[in-house]
Amino acid sequence: MSKRIIIGITGSIAAFKAVQLISDLIKMDYTIDVLMSESATKFITPICIQSLTKRKVYVDTFDEENPAIITHVDIANKADAFMIVPASAHTIAKVAHGLADNMLTCAFLAATCPKIIAPAMNVHMFQNPITQNNIQILKNMGVYFVEPQEGLLACGDIGQGKLASEEALIEALEYVLSPKPLLGKKVLVSAGPTREDIDPVRYITNHSSGKMGYALAKAAYDLGAQVTLVSGPTHIYKPSGVKVVDVTSASQMFDAITAISNEQDYLILAAAVGDYRPKYVSNEKIKKDEDNMILELEKNKDILYFLGQHKKENQVLCGFAMETNHLIENAQNKLSKKHCDMIVANNLKDAGAGFETNTNVVTLITKNHIESLDMMSKKELAFKILEKLMKVEE
Ligand code: CTP
């Protein structure tokens, strides 16, 4: 069933950004109830929002249509999460002190679901100790804040006060809505390609986008884990709440992972690590003097193999296998050779699988089970993989 979210919009120029957010959340199958402060209606109109949500937008607490229900309580009771976006200094101050003088603040006080506040205001209003104290009061009560970004503000000042990006807002929503079975657990994920220098101009790499590893790191964070993502060079959005360690070469990735592998409960190696690197890296650009050129390569250390050799008791180790033929056989060999608890195997030739896609088609291989999954988004698959790994541990 679709999750029900209350979006409270307050009087800030960033109110127009809530329109896009609402439109995108509806496409993601959320049901959205919108409550606007009187000031918010000076920036955008209820009819604009209502056209997207197809539901009544409330402003006034006493706008009661149905005598059988008290709207602010009814809406609050049905919500799975409550998000004030953008949140003005004034509304933050009101909700921090339990003031309930409009539909939005009444419903906020009545709601017992997880709450998120995304402030947007002038930098000095945001930094003012009054606002900061109010934010701290709410944080102490478990309200999740999505910090505003730094930048050029509508007023012309430069500083922190811009509404957080839509990605960060959706991430926060997914985080508060998710159960937390991995609370207290440490998860390390490797992601992306590695890059091996040939000379100052050229390098060897592969087509990995990092999408699967990033989805796993984000899912593990949503499930409550403390997550470290060791990432090769990628261009994708870094999930907030996840500690990202950027590396370039396979040996840097080896060092970054092995430095912290002992303390991890789960090690998930989704990176496409280069198997070889140039034996000699030229300090100068190599000129094209010869007709043929031979590049001598030497083997990189196999991180997954190393972790399998040094596996701690109760540690769960998961590797990936990307194959173009004999998928199951090759993946099973990797499982035993590298002492893994699970291999996520995918065939590069399957439609919907592979590097740049947002979907994947995989087979989950453990010592005693082979489970072939249908094509699904990498985001959905990340949760499936973690679900399976949590059972491996038991
Ligand atoms: N891997 C690793 N370190 C390497 C190479 C691979 O940790 N130097 C990990 C990958 O992150 C992945 C798994 O090993 O989880 C499988 O990688 P893959 O390259 O498919 O397997 P290889 O053992 O290198 O075998 P081959 O390339 O011959 O298929």
- Tens-digit pLDDT profile for residues 240-266: 899 999 999 999 999 999 999 999 999
Q: For atom 6 of ligand 1, which residue has the closest CA?
A: 273
280 vs 350: which has the higher pLDDT: 280
Split at pLDDT 50, 70, 90, the class of 394 is low
Distances (CA, A) of 302 to 77, 204, 228, 333: 52, 17, 19, 15
Give the pLDDT mean for 212-240: 96
Q: Please give the Cα distance from 315 to 263 (Å, whole number).
A: 9
What pLDDT digit, counting tens, does each position of 127-142 carry? 999 999 999 999 999 9
pLDDT confidence of residue 146: 98
Q: What is the CA angle 306-309-311, rounded to 5?
A: 100
> How many angstroms does the Cα of residue 260 sit away from the middle of ligand 1?
20
Q: Which of 276, 297, 302 to mutate to test the pocket of ligand 1 (most atoms within 8 A of CB)?
A: 302
Q: Please give the Cα distance from 346 to 334 (Å, whole number).
A: 13
* For residue 354, pLDDT beyond 80: no
**Average pLDDT for the chain:** 95
pLDDT confidence of residue 328: 93
Q: For atom 12 of ligand 1, which residue has the closest CA?
A: 320
364 vs 393: which has the higher pLDDT: 364
Q: Please give the Cα distance from 244 to 241 (Å, whole number).
A: 9
**Measured from the CA of 304, which atom of ligand 1 is nearest?**
7
pLDDT confidence of residue 184: 97
pLDDT confidence of residue 155: 87
Split at pLDDT 50, 70, 90, the class of 393 is low
Q: Please give the Cα distance from 33 to 386 (Å, whole number).
A: 32
Q: Ligand 1: list residues with CB < 6 Å.
A: 190, 250, 269, 271, 273, 275, 300, 302-304, 319-322, 334
> How many angstroms does the Cα of residue 271 sit away from the middle of ligand 1?
8
Q: Please give the Cα distance from 222 to 70 (Å, whole number).
A: 33
pLDDT confidence of residue 86: 98
pLDDT confidence of residue 25: 98
Conformational region of residue 241, where left means phi above 0, alpha means psi within -120 to 50, and beta covers everything else: left
> How many angstroms does the Cα of residue 272 sit away from the middle of ligand 1?
7
Split at pLDDT 50, 70, 90, the class of 204 is very high
Give the pLDDT mean for 29-49: 97
What pLDDT digit, counting tens, does each position of 271-321 carry? 999 999 999 999 999 988 878 889 999 999 999 999 999 999 999 999 999
* For residue 54, pLDDT beyond 90: yes
Task: Examine the residue annotation and report whether 155 is marked as an active-site residue of this protein.
Answer: yes
| Among 106, 155, 318, 340, the one annotated catalytic | 155
Q: What is the CA angle 177-178-179, rounded to 5?
A: 125
Q: For atom 27 of ligand 1, which residue has the closest CA?
A: 275
Residue with tokens 């890296």: 281
Q: Which of 194, 266, 304, 340 to mutate to test the pocket of ligand 1 (most atoms within 8 A of CB)?
A: 304
Q: Which of 27, 54, 116, 37 lies closest to 80 in space, CA to CA? A: 116
Q: For atom 28 of ligand 1, which residue has the closest CA?
A: 275
> How many angstroms does the Cα of residue 261 sit away from the middle of ligand 1?
17
Residue 371 · residue 363 · CB < 8 Å? yes
Q: How many H-runs (helices) and E-runs (strands) does the chain carry? A: 14, 21
What does DSSP say about strands 4-9 and 186-191: parallel, antiparallel, or unpaired?
A: unpaired
Q: Is 297 in a helix, a strand, or coil?
A: strand
* For residue 26, pLDDT beyond 60: yes
